[in-house]
Structure 1
Amino acid sequence: MKSRLQKLIAQAGYASRRQAETLITTGQVSVNGRIVTELGSKADWDTDRIAVAGKPLQRERNLRYLLFYKPKGVVSTLRDPEGRPSISDYTRLLRGIKERLYPVGRLDFHSEGLILLTNDGELANHVLKASTALPKTYWVKVSGRPSEEHLERLRRGVTIDGRRTAPAQIRWLRDAGASGRARQQAGVYRTSRENPWLEVVLVEGRYHQIRKMFQLVGHPVEKLKRVAIGKLTIGQLQSGKMRPLTEAEMFGLQKATPRQPRARGKAGAPPLAAAWRSPERQRADPAGNRSPHSKRPTGATKAKSGEPHS
């Protein structure tokens, strides 16, 4: 049965549907040897030869779903033209995973927190698109103490870059019910009257949205941490580390998205101890594998930019 090319590319785990559309319109996709640039074009897995960037497109068999705690000072893309640390510096340390994982959504360079990594383009599409987007929870430290009038204005929605933001949930972190252990885990040890922490829940993810919202009411963001994506929480995950989703988390994610992830693959990586080695262990590895923050070897080719970043 024929399906739209962007859907097949997403099913293959090569890219999300949105990214697949860009691949098509820029002439990087071919069907049976002919370049296709029309977004409405269709193909059949069983009878057509589909290629992306000149390489045959294969159906993805092993679907992977991991949570990553992006540290501050890391771009949430696979490559960065400026040579800054990127997510791929961490995913390449995973052992036993050959699939290409990419981030679902973004966090800006100066923010930290939870990012979902997967090779399931269909799931990524449902998580990202506006009509089915999962709510994302942030803990935000701002300069000064916003008035209740300012917070209510942000809750209702404000105009940023010519567009009005969707309604948001905003409350003081001390009123959000987060345990002391959870706050400590996220680096929130105490909140002062002068520089308080707030919990912000958004159903959209525009460029630097939270920073622009609070800047608009005169209270610039000092720190920003994403602590949850839907019901996926940061828990005890340490900065710079990642782990596969549990069965319960996968079940919840399937219920939260209109089309559940295909069950033909694995729910996550191999056991974390086998799949992930910390930078410290990498530096001690006699095989010569580099840590995420080690310098590139002299003469290494500079990676081209992959996904857009905030």
Structure 2
Amino acid sequence: MAAPPQASPPEPPQLERLHKVLAEAGVASRRRSEQLILQRRVRVNGEVVTELGTKVDHTRDVISVDNKPLPQRDPQEEKLYIALHKPRGYVTTADDEQGRETVLDLLGDVGGRVYPVGRLDNNSEGLLLLSNDGNLTFRLTHPRYKVEKEYEVQTEGVPSEASLQALRSGIVLDDGIKTKPATVELLHHENGRAWLRFIITEGRKRQIRNMLEAVGHLTRRLIRTRIGPLKLGDLKRGEHRNLSAGEVYALHKAVGLEAEATAMPPTRPGKPPVQPAPRRKQGSPASPLAAPRPSRFTRQGEGGEAYQSERPPRSSRPAPFGGSRPFPA
């Protein structure tokens, strides 16, 4: 009599550091996630965790922050890669304590959860990558991998050659740390204002603005045009699109993840840009790059004036993880 077939052994758990899982879920940055752990605000399977080196299996373990559970990761979850032309006035976060509109409000349904890769501050614009690929996100944003970010910047006043050279060599900012060497080029100037091209390999908070202020110039506009091999191209303000398979591979190759990219299943094909440019208040001058949007909801501006918005008030939209702003910074 033949012996019954033996059951195949269970697959070993896929363990990752807890703070990395929290960051990939859009809770906070890795550093901020470590602080949440030390503050005893994170539980795994009901138990408070305070060890920073703790590893978890996000596909099986129940993880919560401030008693609000994170959705468990689907091991078969499709990797998404989206390029967005961020306009001014949107914050680069998954949720905002002050109720401001975020870059995720521009996307609508993209077929899964995605999170910003790096940041552009509220008044900056241009190329922003969003993804649910944690390994790629980490490498693109870590200065160790020296991924170039390119910007076009309009300044008040025209920097002298000495100022340009100082910007290229590095500026000691208020934190006492000198910026790394950068490529800085004067493109053109007119009426007391200049356009510069910056290429940097680090991403400190408001870095370019602070560098220019250190040499006596205010920043009027800051537009990111490139992240490594990925370019903004002709994507209009507020529009987004899926990256092509070639673009996804090029990003992985730029940070030494070619093998991972090769082993990935085919990504969604690149699609024509979607999502019209963001709303603007009635009576304000139209931007030459902005397309008009249909309006359906009346909202109130900071000065009390009424304006129309296509999106409903944030209070009527579901908050992430089933709660309202569950993870204060």
Bigger drift between 10-19 and 33-42 goes to 10-19
- State yes or no: 1:197 paired with 2:218: no
Could you tell me how far 1:26 is from its partner in structure 2?
4.0
Identify the range of structure 1 (77-86 vs 65-74) with the bigger mean alpha-carbon deviation. Answer: 77-86
Report the equivalent of 2:72. 57
What is the letter of the counterpart of residue 234 of structure 2?
Q
Are the counterparts in 2 of residues 136 and 228 from structure 1 also a CA contact under 8 Å? yes
Q: Which has the higher contact order (CA 8 A, sep 6+)?
A: 1
Does structure 2 retain, via aligned residues, the 8 Å contact 1:9–1:20? no
**Partner residue, 2:231:** 233
Q: What's the Cα RMSD here?
A: 3.3
> Deviations 1:139-191 (Å, cap 9, x if unpaired)?
011111111111111111111122111111101226xxxxxxxxxxxxxxxx4
TM-score with structure 1 setting the length: 0.77
Deviation per CA, 1:261-290: give whole Å up to 9, x if none: 5654553478457xx443777758xxxxxx
One-letter code of the match for 1:200?
Answer: F
Alignment correspondent of 1:242: 240
Shift of 1:34: 2.1
Residue 3 (structure 1) aligns with: 15
- Any gaps of 5 or more consecutive residues in structure 1? 175-190, 285-290
| Counterparts in 2 of 1:202 and 1:222: CA distance versus 1, 3 Å | same
Work out whether residues 37 and 52 of structure 2, in 8 Å CA contact, stay in contact via their aligned partners in 1: yes
SS class of match (2:105): helix
2:179 is the counterpart of 1:165: yes
**Aligned positions of 1:119-134 closer than 5 A:** 119-134=132-147
Q: CA deviation at 1:50?
A: 4.0
Relative distance call for 1:17 and 1:258 in structure 2 (3 A) is: farther
Residues 94-122 of structure 1: CA distance to partner in whole angstroms, max 9, x if unpaired? 35x1x211101111111110111001112
Q: Name 1:215's counterpart in structure 2.
A: 213
1:94 is aligned to: 109
Give the conservation status (yes or no) of the 8 Å contact 1:9–1:57. Answer: no
Shift of 1:132: 1.2
| Mapped contact 1:79–1:87 kept (Cα < 8 A) | no
Quick one: structure 1 residues 100 and 199, their matched pair in 2 at CA, closer, same or farther if it must change by over 3 Å? Answer: same
Q: Which runs of 4+ in 1 moved over 6 A?
A: 279-282, 297-302
> Is the CA contact 1:69–1:238 (under 8 Å) kept in the aligned structure 2?
yes
The structure with more radius of gyration: 2
Query: In structure 1, what is the Cα distance between the partners aligned to 2:22 and 2:98?
Result: 28
Aligned residue for 1:240, secondary structure, equals coil
How far apart, CA to CA, are the structure 2 residues paired with 1:292 and 1:121? Answer: 33
Report the alpha carbon displacement of residue 194 of structure 1 after superposing the two structures with TM: 2.5
How far the C-alpha of 1:294 sits from its partner, in A, is 3.5
| Residues 1:155 and 1:30: Cα distance change in structure 2 (over 3 Å) | same
What corresponds to 1:267 in structure 2?
267
Cα offset for 1:44? 4.8
2: distance between equivalents of 1:264 and 1:58?
17
Report if aligned partners of 1:140, 1:224 keep a CA contact under 8 Å in 2.
yes
Distance 2:197 2:137 in 1: 25
**CA shift digits 1:284-305 (9 cap, x unpaired):** 8xxxxxx975451777788527
Name the counterpart of 2:286: none
Distance in 2, Cα, partners of 1:66 & 1:307: 26
Matched, 1:110 2:84: no
Aligned to 1:184: none
Deviations 1:12-69 (A, max 9, x none): 75566556534533445444432222111224568x6242333452244211011111
State the partner residue of 1:80.
96
Question: 3-state DSSP class of the match of 2:184?
Answer: strand
The CA distance in 1 between the partners of 2:78 and 2:61, in whole Å, is 21
Residues 18-27 or 99-108, more deviating: 18-27
2:251 aligns with one of 250, 253, 256: 253
Q: Which amino acid aligns with 1:172?
A: L
Unmatched 5+ stretches in structure 2: 1-11, 279-291, 297-307
Once the 2 structures are TM-superposed, how far is the Cα of residue 219 of structure 1 from its aligned partner? 1.6
Kindly state the Cα deviation for residue 75 of structure 1 after the two structures are TM-superposed. 1.1
What amino acid is aligned across from residue 89 of structure 1 in structure 2? D
Distance 2:315 2:44 in 1: 39
Would you say the 8 A contact 1:141–1:197 is kept in 2? Answer: yes
1:206 to 204, 215, 219: 204
**Is 1:39 equivalent to 2:52 in the alignment?**
yes
Q: Indicate if the aligned counterparts of 1:63 and 1:120 stay in contact, CA closer than 8 A.
A: yes
Aligned residues: 281
Alpha-carbon distance between aligned partners in 2 of 1:268 and 1:306, rounded to the nearest angstrom: 31
